[in-house]
Amino acid sequence: MAIVLLIGCSAYAKPRLKKAIPIPEVENEDQICFAMYTVHNNILKMMVQLYPLADGDSREVILEIKDGKKWKTVAETQVRENEYGVPRDSVESHNVKAWNALFRVEGWDSTKDYPYRVSALDGQATYEGLIRHDPVEKEEIVVAAFTGNSNKDRSPRSDLVENVKKQDPGLLFFSGDQSYDHHDHLYAWLLFGKQFGELIRDRPTVAIPDDHDVGQANLWGMAGSVRAKHIQGPRGGYYMPPEYVKEVEFAQTGNLPDPFDPTSIGDGIGVYYTSLNIGGVDFAIIEDRKFKSAPVAVETPGHGRIDLIGNPDYDRKSVDLPGGRILGDRQLRFLRKWGQNWRKCEMKCVLSQTIFAQACHKSGRDVIVADLDSNGWPQTARNNALREIRKTFSFMIAGDQHLATVIHHGIDDWNDSGYSFCVPSIMNYWPR
Q: What are phi and psi of 379, to 5 degrees?
A: -65, -40
Residue 195, amino acid: Q
Number of folded domains in the chain? 1
What is the rounded CA–CA span in Å between residue 74 and residue 66?
10
- What is the residue-averaged pLDDT of the chain? 91
Can you list the alpha helix ranges (DSSP code H) found in 108-184?
Answer: 158-167
234: closest CA among 296, 191, 287?
296
Would strands 281-285 and 205-207 be described as parallel, antiparallel, or unpaired? unpaired
pTM: 0.94
For the stretch 128-157, pLDDT in tens is 999 999 999 999 999 999 999 988 888 999
Kindly state whether residue 200 falls inside one of the protein's structural domains.
yes
The burial class, CB within 10 Å (0-12 / 13-18 / 19+), for 401 is buried
For CA atoms 53, 44, 142, 290, the dihedral sign is positive
CATH at 342: 3.60.21.70
Strand order in the sheet with 405-408: 274-278, 281-285, 347-354, 395-399, 419-422, 405-408
- For residues 271 and 261, the answer to whether their CB atoms sit within 8 Å is yes
Kindly state whether residue 316 falls inside one of the protein's structural domains.
yes
Instruction: Check whether 432 has a pLDDT greater than 80.
Output: no
- For residues 351 and 210, the answer to whether their CB atoms sit within 8 Å is no
Kindly state whether residue 118 falls inside one of the protein's structural domains.
no
Would strands 32-40 and 70-78 be described as parallel, antiparallel, or unpaired? unpaired
384: closest CA among 298, 299, 323, 307?
323
For the stretch 167-184, pLDDT in tens is 999 999 999 999 988 888
Kindly state whether residue 339 falls inside one of the protein's structural domains.
yes
Residue range(s) defining the domain that contains residue 241: 2-28+35-43+136-422
- For residues 296 and 234, the answer to whether their CB atoms sit within 8 Å is yes
Q: For residue 432, what is the DSSP state? A: -
Instruction: Check whether 382 has a pLDDT greater than 60.
Output: yes
Count CA atoms closer than 13 A to 430's CA, side-chain side: 25
Kindly state whether residue 93 falls inside one of the protein's structural domains.
no
Would strands 274-278 and 281-285 be described as parallel, antiparallel, or unpaired? antiparallel
Kindly state whether residue 187 falls inside one of the protein's structural domains.
yes
pLDDT band at 428 (very low <50, low <70, confident <90, very high): confident
Kindly state whether residue 161 falls inside one of the protein's structural domains.
yes
Kindly state whether residue 320 falls inside one of the protein's structural domains.
yes
How many helices and strands in the chain, by DSSP H and E? 5, 21
Q: From residue 34, give the alpha-carbon distance in Å to each of 5, 76, 366.
A: 23, 17, 39
| pLDDT of res. 402 | 85
For the stretch 18-47, pLDDT in tens is 555 778 889 999 999 999 999 999 999 999
